[in-house]
Amino acid sequence: MLRLTRPFFIIITLIILFSSQSYAQKAPAFTLEGDKGKISLSNYKNQVVYIDFWASWCKPCRKSFTFMNEMQDRYGKKGFKIIAINLDNEREAANDFLKKHPAKFSIAYDKDGKTPGLYKLKVMPTSYLIDRRGNLLNIHKGFKENQTNELENLIIQALNKK
């Protein structure tokens, strides 16, 4: 007959506790050139950050800029910040895009394409929602207008968490 001892129960309890805990994944840090100087993710502590990778040739990116402008207007004063990271090789292409689709949020430039590797980018555009502690909450690939309510709800939830 198997005899279970107190230490055995303690070890089993600890295994169950630690295996059921989810450990948040930190958003990879970066520092990039922006229109108004350097943009570092570390400067956005205690804020909800929406990082969006885009390029001038990306058709869905045009529509995502309208959405991001609305979200920045609506939630910016509540601690919500958007960083849109441009991946064009030529800054002129990005500038032409921004003339047609102005941004009310921070634009960063990564012509060397190092940041997409940190974020394991596969699709354009892709957005990453980061909580006030720097944890990745959501990754959203592509952009479709019928998904904006879902994205906005995720933003609201993140803003409501303290």
Lowest mean pLDDT among 18-22, 38-42, 101-105, 150-154: 18-22
pLDDT at 162: 74
DSSP string, 104-120: SSEEEE-TT--HHHHTT
Q: pTM of the entire structure?
A: 0.83
- Please name each of the domains of the chain with its CATH number: 51-160 (3.40.30.10)
Question: Rounded mean pLDDT of 26-30?
Answer: 95
The closest alpha carbon to 103, from 66, 74, 142, belongs to 66
pLDDT at 111: 81
pLDDT at 36: 87
CB-based contact 136:27 (threshold 8 Å): yes
The closest alpha carbon to 133, from 27, 56, 36, belongs to 27
Dump pLDDT digits (tens) for 108-141: 999 888 999 999 999 999 999 999 999 999 999 9
